[in-house]
Amino acid sequence: MLAWLLLALCLVLTHMGALAQGLCSKGAPDGYKVRLSIVTALGPEAYVWNESEMFLFRATLAFAMRRHFNTETYNVSNIMVCEKTPRVSFWFVVTNPSDPSQLIPGGLVESAVRQSRNRINSAFLLTDKTLQFVGIAPTLAIPVEPATPPWLIVFGVVISIVTAGILAILLSTLMRRIRKEKPAHEEEKLENMYENEFAEVKSGTPNGAFADDEPHTQL
């Protein structure tokens, strides 16, 4: 009796597995095609895609489904893969944990993939361009926030311009004042010289400028 029960269980599991495999096909409504460009991304350090890498892919997809639905019911067995090609492309579908004969709608799978896209890429050292989920838009990169806020940069530029303008005005005013004071100082110097000469003449003190000419003057 026990042997018959084990045989029946094996037949049921085999039938369910075959049914699930039949759900994965090229162009399946709830399936997605995956393309990997490992050599393009890693060059000489590219790794070989094999069944171990495929197992890792299925595990990361199961992780993405668990994370998205906040449940631990998804396993590697729920990620069905088919239509494999040597150039590392394949199709996959996700089966319902409670009923392997039913597929998870593609929209829900897309949401799960987008939520964990960075984790999936990191697992294979790839990016959105080298690990493509055909039909699922690439995730946007998180914008990098500058160390200095933009408003502070703008404020600093404005302050610098205003400061430069004020310094230019002060320097221009100082130069004009110097130009005005220089002629006035020279004029004052000439006036002082003439006043000194006039005072010497008035006091009878001979002017040194004409002292050498007096012996040669004829009456």
Q: Are 69 and 13 in contact (CB under 8 A)?
A: no
| 127 residue type, one letter | T
Q: For the chain, first and last CA: distance in Å?
A: 170
Encode 143-182 in three state secondary structure: CCCCCCCHHHHHHHHHHHHHHHHHHHHHHHHHHHHHHHHH
Question: Distance (Å, rounded) from C-alpha 173 to C-alpha 162?
Answer: 17
Spell out the per-residue pLDDT of the chain, length 219, in tens: 555 555 544 544 444 444 445 789 988 899 999 999 999 999 999 999 999 999 999 999 999 999 999 988 999 999 999 999 998 999 999 999 999 989 999 999 999 999 999 999 999 999 999 999 999 988 765 555 667 777 788 888 889 998 998 988 988 888 887 777 666 666 666 666 666 665 655 565 555 554 555 555 554
Q: Coil, strand or helix: which one is 102?
A: strand
Amino acid at 74: Y
Distances (CA, A) of 165 to 24, 134, 137, 170, 174: 72, 57, 51, 9, 14
What is the maximum span of the chain, computed from C-alpha positions, in angstroms? 170
Among 140, 161, 157, smallest CA distance to 148 is for 157
pLDDT of res. 133: 95
**CA pair distance 95, 65, nearest whole angstrom:** 11
Judge contact between 16 and 101, C-beta under 8 A. Answer: yes
Query: Which residue's entry shows tokens 């045989």?
Result: 7
pLDDT at 219: 44
The sign of the torsion formed by the CA atoms of 139, 28, 35, 125 equals positive
Q: Find the helix or strand (DSSP H, E) in which 84 lies.
A: strand 79-85
